[in-house]
Structure 1
């Protein structure tokens, strides 16, 4: 049975993974569509602005906090190896750490960095072509990290039941 401080960690992980999932789902369901409907130069400028604004304490606490919680829960789970919920706990940790945090680091951030290099050249045809590629690739990876965060949150909830 999961109890005490361990219980609190798992509840926080479920909540923070769920909040991160909400951000990713918002981007997948309407933010990227809205940006894609803009002329390329305006879409590029808007997304670059969003990418800068996203690096703020509120979002970083949720995004990085969920990753830290998952790492701590994974270690504690291996040490305590509870009778129930072990598989769900470890699955939730892997889903978030690999599927959300990892995908962000290896797929979304490099695309954001490449998009930032287009600043000042947003009006060119080359930039417009890169924007179209960015939209489809970034959104595809975002769907994956959103789905992984939702699944991680659900895994933590299942571990608690």
Structure 2
């Protein structure tokens, strides 16, 4: 296994861990709060997650996975690019934007749908990691 593949696998694994933390701790914790508090907290999280370290990891991993696709590790690369990066841009980001614009009535739907898609992203990242490590 090459150095780039090892770095890419580590990066997809880190992203899987971030999504797992949200699925098993952050979102259940927010679910315990009243809608106004939970919505406010998630709105702050959505602002704070947009920092250079996270954005480099999130987008940089997509670039590395593109390299992996061209190196023949198609499954590992595409699982991250499609199942994490594109899914985030097409599903989770628009939901975050809607959360910013709406009132507390949207919170229960947001919590349910966002968390479901977060599970999918986390599993896609984990599958990407395993696929890359196995050379797929």
Would the TM-score normalized by the shorter structure come out above 0.5?
Answer: yes
Question: Scaled by the length of structure 2, what TM-score is found?
Answer: 0.96
2:30 corresponds to 1:35:
yes
2:71 is paired with a residue whose SS is helix
Name the structure 2 match of 1:15: 10
Match of 1:149 in 2: 125
1:36-83 deviation line (CA, Å, top 9, x unaligned): 111111111100000000000111111111100011121233xxxxxx
Backbone CA RMSD of aligned residues: 1.2
- Report the count of equivalent residues: 136
- Mapped to 2, the partners of 1:75 and 1:90 lie a distance apart of 7
Rounded Cα–Cα distance in structure 1 between residues aligned with 2:65 and 2:98: 29
CA displacement at 1:129 relative to structure 2:
2.6
Among 82, 87, 99, the residue aligned to 2:83: 99
> If the length of structure 1 is used for normalisation, what is the TM-score?
0.81
1:72 aligned to which of 55, 67, 70: 67
Residue aligned with 1:38, SS:
coil
Distance 2:4 2:100 in 1: 36
- Could you tell me how far apart the structure 1 residues matched to 2:20 and 2:87 are? 15
Counterparts in 2 of 1:53-64, with a 5 A limit?
A: 53-64=48-59
> For structure 2, which runs of at least 5 residues remain unmatched after alignment?
none
* Ranges of 4+ aligned residues in structure 1 off by more than 4 Å: none
2:76–2:131 Cα contact (<8 Å) kept: yes
Structure 2 residue 123 is matched with structure 1 residue 159: no
